[in-house]
C-alpha cells in the first residue's frame, strides 16, 4: 500500500488498513461489557434509576384496583 504516514499505527491496524485482531478483540470486549451492563446495570446506575422513579411514581395518579 503506501508508506505509512505519521498517524499510522501497526498496533492498531494491519498494514492494509483492515481492522487487526486486536481491534476485533477490543470491539468484542466493549460489546460484552455493554451487554453485561444492560443485563445487570452497575449499582450506581441502579440507584440513579431508583432516585428518578420515586418522584415519578408520586406524580402518577392513584388508581383504584377494585373491579
- Read off the pTM: 0.33
**Three-state secondary-structure class, residue 61:** coil
pLDDT of res. 14: 53
Of 67, 48, 44, residue with least CA distance to 56: 48
Query: Are the CB atoms for 14 and 20 separated by under 8 Å?
Result: yes
Q: What is the pLDDT of residue 52?
A: 72
- Predicted confidence pLDDT, tens digits, the chain (67 residues): 455 554 445 555 555 667 778 888 888 888 888 877 777 666 766 677 677 777 666 776 766 665 5
Name the one residue in this structure whose C-alpha cell is 470486549: 29
Amino acid at each position: 500500500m503506501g508508506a505509512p504516514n505519521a498517524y499510522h499505527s501497526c498496533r492498531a491496524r494491519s498494514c492494509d488498513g483492515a481492522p487487526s485482531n486486536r481491534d476485533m478483540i477490543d470491539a468484542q470486549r466493549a460489546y460484552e461489557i455493554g451487554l453485561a451492563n444492560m443485563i445487570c446495570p452497575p449499582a450506581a446506575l441502579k440507584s440513579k434509576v431508583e432516585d428518578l422513579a420515586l418522584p415519578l411514581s408520586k406524580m402518577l395518579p392513584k388508581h383504584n384496583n377494585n373491579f
